[in-house]
Structure formats: structure tokens, C-alpha cells
Structure 1
Amino acid sequence: MRFFYANGGGDCYVLSVGKVGSDLDANDVTGAIDLLKKEAEPTMLVIPDVVEFSLDEAYSIQGYMINHCGAEMPSRVAILDIPNGYNEPEDNPTASVDVFRDRVSGTVQKSNSYAAAYYPWLHTTVYQSADVSYKNLIEDSYANVATLLTTEFTDPVKGISVDHANAISSFTNKGMSDDGKLTIDEADAALQNLSKQYPILLGKVKRQLNLMAPSAAMAGIYTAVDNADGVWKAPANVAVQNVTAPAVKINNDMQENLNVPLNGKSVCAIRFFKGMGNMVWGARTLDGNSNDWRYVNVRRTLIFLEQSIKEAAKTYVFAPNDANTWVTVKSMISNFLTGVWKQGGLVGPKPADAYSVSVGLGTTMTNEDIQLGIMRVMVKVAVSHPAEFIEITFQQQMQKA
């Protein structure tokens, strides 16, 4: 959550599937995703903890996320992480990406355009030294900590002092020193000042905690870009905040493989550039071979337009399904799209080149449609280039006679 808000995050829904440190159950996660079918507001689906599952479970959950967004709730997109995307073998620096591409996909190809994946993991500054203590260690390791400290504080001639021994004993005596005078919290604070090895140990723990998958930060960046420039602006060429370095250094050859693979499953890179910082350097969906849906901002723009138009059209559900209503609906949609065009969301030298709206008998509807109380509207918009139109078609059930 800190990573999300540090990068511009705003309002969000948080679904808990268990306590921190408890055993994770993939079924609990997919069950939580199902609950979102009842919520229309969320526009992004992000599960940073998916990388904590076994690989089989992680890939299964990610496929479930894609299907949820692409088939069941096409009003949102999934932001995905690459499991194990931080420690690559030298002979295959994108091994985790290759496995991800083989294992993760929507049930139908079209659903892949509702997901974007980001790589690699990031070294962050989310956790500070004050946030790290013995509480970040598993209890099974307390005995090893005690052994480490005993070795450090034991003098070959004099042995170990009583004070040091009591402080160390709190790690092996259920949180209380042998003399009953020192709690493990007090011992932790004292040892961070007295010991050389203990702060080093906690420093390594902090570094591990600060190694994070990027999806939470990307959700924040999506939000920040939406608020500043609009959903049609690609969430790329943006610096990721609270990051010291990507876990894997990406060069131009690796970037090409990530961006334009043969199977179309593009993965967005996060790279360090001198003088710029750690930058989001990709904006493609997992449907990279599609001319229409390869860019995440195009998919999200169409979601925004379609959902906005559908919501506005609900005003006319109980209006007569006749020419007067059709003219009003067409005018309402045209005014909305003109506003989007003026903001730069649609491309074209004039509104007529940026969009078209059709509704009426003989154009989008038949007499049978009217008798059944169905109003069909066709909207075409130019999102990427003036000559490239993407068509939105929807129907609305009107009041029946």
C-alpha cells in the first residue's frame, strides 16, 4: 500500500484474504476476485502478493485475473507481476518472463488485452530501518540469531558478560530474558546499538523486504497519469518513486524481446536511465500482436468511453424508442466525445475525423429491435491515429410496451 500511494495512488478497494504471515490459499484469492463482480467502480485489479504463492498457483491466479477482466468485468484491467522476476541466470536473463509467457493467458485471446505485465522487480526504499526488527524474522530463526550474537559477544578469555547473555536469551526464552528483566523488544533496541552483526542482519532483512514486484507502484502511476493527463495518456516514460534500482538491468536487446515477442505477450520494462531515473519503459498489453489492442492506454480509453456512454444512456431507458430519443442520444454522445477530443483523448483535425455516432432505424436497428424495445448504438472513435477507427457497439433495453 505504501508503494501504491508513493506513486500517486488514490481511492482503492482492499480485499483481505488472510493475516500477514498466515498460509496463503489460492482459492481464497480467486474467491475474493469473484466478489468484485458485484462492484462496478474498480478500474484496475492488482494482487502484489500473488508472487508469494507457488509458481503453479501464481500463474493460475493470474490467468483468473485476466479472465475476470477480459470476460466477466470488461470495465477494468489487470496489472500483473512476473513471479521470480528478480534473480535471473546469466545465460538467460529473462528466464522468468519466458515461463510467464508460457503459463499465463486468458481463456480467449481477446482477454489478454485487458492485462499488462511489468518487469523486473524493484529495489525500493519503502521500508526504513525503523520499520525492521526481530518481528520481521520467523521464530524458527531466533535460535540462529542467538548463536550469531553469542559468537560475537563471547571473549576467548573472559567469555560472555551477564548483560549480553541475558539480552540474547530473550530470543530463546519466549520473549523474556533469563533473569526476567528484559523483554525481547527491549533486547532488540539494545542490540541494535551494542552489536555490529545484528544491524547488519536487520539490514539484509530490510533489503529483502524492499525487493518488491512493481504492480502496486504501477497502479499508483496509472492513477497519477489518469488524474494529470487523462486515461488516454500512456502510463510510460514516468519515473517510479521510492526505487533505488531495478533488480535486473535491462539493455536494448532485452527490451526488444520484452516488447515485441513472437507470441505477442509483451512485457513492459522498467529501466534505469542516467539523468532520468528508474523509468517505466513500456505500455503494451499481453495482446501485443493486435493492431487495435496492443497498447494499454488504448484499451483503457475504450473502457472509459464505453462505460461512460453506457452509464449516460441509462437516462433514456424509459424514453420512447423513437426518432426524437435517437436524436437526443446521438447529440448527448457526440457532445461527450467532442469534449474528449478537445482534451486530446481522440485523434483528428476535427470532430468528424475523430468519431462518429450512429443510432436509428435502418442504420443500427430493425423494426424487430424497436418492437422488442432494444436501442442499438454504434460509436466509432479514433484513439491512436486519425485513420484507425475502433468500433464500440452496444444495445440498451428500453421500456417495453
Structure 2
Amino acid sequence: MANYSSPGVYVEQVPSGSAPIAGVGTSTAGFVGAFAQTLTVPNPIYDSSITDTNDPRHSQTITETIPTAPGEVKLITNFSEFKAAFKGFLDESSHRPLAHAVNGFFLNGGTRCYVAYVVPPASPALPDITGVLERFESIDEIAIVASPGLAISAARTALKDHCEKMGTRVAILETEEFGNVADALTALDPDGVNNALPSFSDSTALYFPWIEVFDPASKTNKFVPPSGHIAGIYARVDAQRGVHKAPANEPIRGALGVRHALSKSQQEGLNPQGVNAIRSVNGAIKVWGARTLGGDENGEFKYLNVRRLFNFVRGSIDQGMQWAVFEPNNPDLWAKITRNTAAFLTTVWAAGGLFGDKPEQAFYVKCDAETNPPAQRDLGQVVTEIGIAIVRPAEFVIFRLGQTAGS
């Protein structure tokens, strides 16, 4: 208490007792590619008529060196920054997927991503991206991870394990570029002997097929994996509607076509397994699925937006309640935790993320003597029980039509 010695008016600033929980970001991506630091690429100004070996137009190929060292993680906020750190579009097969992924991310609504690459070892060894993923662990804002161009089992498993460990991230997995739909459906069959995908994981999403885009390096159209474009759609939907909205029925900006045109009956075999289709719908290339890999096997987390909303709530409460650590574990603390958590969940409900006509129908927060008996408090723990009613997407919109007798 202050010591007042002279008569007068004194104004003091006191804590409000309220520490609002701010929602964490959900749209920052982490991309990791695999290519050499020094690449041999076609010379864009090559002229076969030039015979002077000192003329830069004489050589059919040139050497490009990536300015960023392998394994170094760079924050990228626009494609110009990517070009400065990792070069732009190089007509080189291993570099191309990462460039198109980052470009597609920004083109579709992304604003921030962290990018790194690893140098593949000599064949037949596979690129190891675990070192980069470990560096990603310290970057709290990353909510989406992908490895553009690494459609291999080891990369898929590493991404899956990383997201399950972190608890607040989802991975966008890639398929290889299949020659035809029949081969793809066989490879994507979870019961097939050739399937190299994780059987199920509610922290991952898989999209098929590849998309066609314009490649500035070769000045032709090429097929590329869609992970970067999809991550951009996540960011766009998050900004426009909220993380609770399924990132589906959305056009893919920059996509000119698809590698394989899927029929409705073909998608019927993929959707229950959590393979999200990319299809041409009414002349637009759209994401036509919103499930986690494994689909029905993932139970209450079979929908991607449900998983991502839980990640958002978990991450926001985790970050927003750090002030409570080492506070006296008493009813005053319990009341503050209840009040602040309920206020945060009310904003989630008001944004449309929770189901119910009233906040009390959408969630509950319980932190009291019942959840914190003496034995619990003796362990230095304060326990809060939270229940939320998630809004599921209208995946199947059904109209029942019938005839009525005329008058």
C-alpha cells in the first residue's frame, strides 16, 4: 500500500483483473523443399547462332546458386522476397515445386510463410526434412506445413509426426504425379498393397490431383502439386470467413486445369478415405473436399475445419493464459480463468464458429473447487474443464423434391 504523507487527491492505476485471450494466427505456413544449392538450368538467352564462347548467349545452360544456405529458415511476406532469397522460377524440376507453391500461396490469399530447403543426398537415399521441421517448432505462428515436391513416404510421415507433436498445426500432404486415374485410385486405396500414405491422421489433409499452372521459366503450362495454393486458400478463408469455415468450394487462383478430371463416382471412393478432390466445377478449378486424411476413421475430427478450429482454440488459450502460471491457486484465480476463457469463447461463438443460439448452448467453462480438489492443488495444478459445440460443414446438401396435386 502506498504511503501518503501530504493531504491531496491521489490517482492510482490498478490492475483490472482481466487478461483478455487474443486469438492466435491460423494462416502462416511453413514450406520445405529439396534441391541443391547450385543448380544447372537452361540459359534463357541462349542463341545457337553465337559461336563466341565468351558471349553469355553461347552456352545452353547456366549455373544458378541459391543465396540462402540449406536448412536456413526465411520469413517470406511476398514473392519478391522469395526470389531474392531462393531465386524465382527456375526451369529446374526439383526447384520448381517450391517456387510454384510459394507463389500459389500468395496468389490465393496467404500473407506470411517461412521457407527453407534441404539438399537431397545421393540416390537412393531420401531427403531428410526433420532438421527444418525442428527449426519450425520454435516459430509459434506457423499453423500449416507442407513439403512441395516431396511426394515420398518419409516426408509425409515427418510432416504428420511434426503436426501431431505440436498439436496446433496441420500438414498438407502431396501425392505423386500419377500417369492416369486408374493408377492413382489404386495407389490411394488405403487397403491397397501399394499405398504409401499414412492410414489416417486428423492432423493432415491430402489433395488430388495435381493442378496445371503457367510456368514463367519455361513459358509453358506445367502440372505442379497443389499444396502451396491450398495453404493460400486456408489463409483466404480464415481472413474472409474464419477458421471455422471449411476451406472448400473455393476456386484455386492460378490453376488453369487439373492433371486428371475426376468424376463424381470416382470421388465417392476417395471422399470417405479423406482424399480431397480438386475438380473443375462450372468452369472453375475448385477444392471439392474438406476432410482430414482417413476421413470417417477420424471420428469427430474427420473434417479439416473442426481440427483447425480446435487447434485455434487450444493455441489461443495456451498463449493467452500464461499469466496464470505461479498465481495463487484459489477461488479468485479460478474466477479469473473462467471469466477470461468464457469471454474468448463468446467471441468464437459470435463469429459463427460454435453451434448454439446462445453462448451457454455453445460452450461451458468449469474451473472451481470440484475440478481443483486439495489433492490437485497440492500437485501445483489448476484444472479447467472446457466443452465446445463445433459447427460441422454442410458437406451433403440435400433437397427433397415432390409433386403436389394441382387445384
TM-score category by the smaller chain?
Answer: 0.5 to 0.7
Does the 8 Å contact 2:187/2:196 carry over to 1? Answer: no
- Does residue 123 (structure 1) correspond to residue 212 (structure 2)? The answer is yes
Does the 8 Å contact 1:122/1:243 carry over to 2? Answer: yes
Offset of residue 299 of structure 1: 0.2
Q: Provide the C-alpha distance between the structure 2 equivalents of 1:101 and 1:120, rounded to a whole number of angstroms.
A: 18
Which structure 2 residues correspond to residues 107-122 of structure 1 after superposition, within 5 A?
112-122=201-211
Does the 8 Å contact 1:45/1:79 carry over to 2? Answer: yes
Does the 8 Å contact 1:334/1:357 carry over to 2? Answer: yes
- Does residue 73 (structure 1) correspond to residue 166 (structure 2)? The answer is yes
- The residue type paired with residue 323 of structure 2 is T
Give the structure 2 partner of residue 354 of structure 1.
Answer: 362
- Does residue 382 (structure 1) correspond to residue 389 (structure 2)? The answer is yes
> C-alpha root-mean-square deviation of aligned residues, in Å?
2.2
Give the structure 1 partner of residue 188 of structure 2.
Answer: 97
Q: Provide the C-alpha distance between the structure 2 equivalents of 1:316 and 1:303, rounded to a whole number of angstroms.
A: 21
Offset of residue 338 of structure 1: 0.6
Which structure 2 residues correspond to residues 2-401 of structure 1 after superposition, within 5 A?
2-18=103-119, 26-51=126-151, 58-70=152-164, 72-85=165-178, 87-88=179-180, 91-92=182-183, 94-98=185-189, 102-105=195-198, 112-125=201-214, 127-128=215-216, 131-132=217-218, 206-207=220-221, 210-260=222-272, 265-275=273-283, 277-289=284-296, 290-362=298-370, 364-384=371-391
3-state SS of 1:226 partner: helix
Higher helix residue share: 1
The number of equivalent residue pairs is 288
Offset of residue 101 of structure 1: 8.3
Identity %: 31
Does the 8 Å contact 1:82/1:96 carry over to 2? Answer: no
Q: Deviations over 1:226-277 (max 9, x none)?
A: 11111111000000011111110011111111101xxxx31000000224x0
Q: Deviations over 1:25-44 (max 9, x none)?
A: 63531221222222222001
- The residue type paired with residue 330 of structure 1 is T
Q: Provide the C-alpha distance between the structure 2 equivalents of 1:254 and 1:298, rounded to a whole number of angstroms.
A: 25
Offset of residue 22 of structure 1: 9.4
Q: Provide the C-alpha distance between the structure 1 equivalents of 2:391 and 2:306, rounded to a whole number of angstroms.
A: 7
Offset of residue 100 of structure 1: 9.8
- The residue type paired with residue 311 of structure 2 is I
TM-score (norm 2): 0.67
Q: Deviations over 1:51-107 (max 9, x none)?
A: 3xxxxxx1121012111111x11110000111124x216x5552332369832227x
Q: Deviations over 1:285-306 (max 9, x none)?
A: 0131233100000000000001
TM-score (norm 1): 0.68
Greater radius of gyration (CA): 1
Q: Which runs of 5+ in 1 are unaligned?
A: 52-57, 133-202, 386-401
Q: Provide the C-alpha distance between the structure 2 equivalents of 1:335 and 1:220, rounded to a whole number of angstroms.
A: 30
Does the 8 Å contact 1:287/1:293 carry over to 2? Answer: no
Q: Provide the C-alpha distance between the structure 2 equivalents of 1:372 and 1:291, rounded to a whole number of angstroms.
A: 34
Q: Which runs of 5+ in 2 are unaligned?
A: 1-101, 393-407
